[in-house]
Amino acid sequence: MRLKDKVAIITGAGSGIGKASALIFAKEGASVVVADINEEMGKETTDEILASGGKAIFIKTDISVETDIINMVKTAVESFGKLNILFNVAGYPQKPTMIEDLSNEVYDRVMAVNVKGVWMSCKYAVAELRKTKGVIINVASVGGLRPRPGTTAYGPSKGAVISMTKACAVEFAPDVRVNVINPGPVNTPMLPKFLDVFNEDILKEIKDGTALGELVQPEDIAYAGVFLASDEALKITGAELNVDSGLYIGRSKN
């Protein structure tokens, strides 16, 4: 129960990393605000937490919409009395697209969710987090450190989250700790959305590109989040944690 009596907002909690995080945070004792744009999937996550004896509510949230963010924070505090953790997981993918072919609409959507959505979540949650000496954990990507061709929207959006994390860490100190997790290739329904073709050969190629030769699992990110949210990480702020099977450092020679 490393998060006993904590209240956590987790965005994108209807599936993938967000869902795994919501379930594990609840198991670790947190009351969880399940925030997701997909009502059906968000309610499924909430029901799973409640069925296991945990505490959770669902709030339908599009993090690119300011009023949704304001309502998310307001409802969290009204429901549970406080806010200790903001875990910004929700994100928007980009299929490999050369810059000449990338539409303004796709670019704007990637930036609206991945950058502005995280920024607004921090903006409207920080006042409540200051009251509890709370924590913000952002999810960026190794793609923000080492972008690939065809990711001129997604890569820079995640690079912005990494930089934003450090700016917030300085600005919010000493009251609120702010850190960022950089996942590598994660075994979620979103993974195929980054690719033109997805099959066993492509999957093997992705795994072979990592030092550990494996996909990251959603639970790997969730447990990293638990650590950063817990009192075990009280002296960690402005830090990047790569949870990427060694994608950033490159494949093993074996």
Token reading at 184: 């590598």
Query: How do beta strands 177-183 and 135-139 pair?
Result: parallel
Taking the alpha carbons at both ends of the chain, their separation in whole angstroms is 39
As a three-state string, the secondary structure of the chain is CCCCCCEEEEECCCCHHHHHHHHHHHHCCCEEEEEECCHHHHHHHHHHHHHCCCEEEEEECCCCCHHHHHHHHHHHHHHHCCCCEEEECCCCCCCCCCHHHCCHHHHHHHHHHHHHHHHHHHHHHHHHHHHHCCEEEEECCHHHCCCCCCCCCHHHHHHHHHHHHHHHHHHHCCCCEEEEEEECCECCCCHHHHCCCCCHHHHHHHHHCCCCCCCECHHHHHHHHHHHHCHHHCCCCCCEEEECCCCCCCCCCC
Identified catalytic residue from 107, 154, 223, 248: 154
107 is catalytic: no
Residues annotated as catalytic are 154
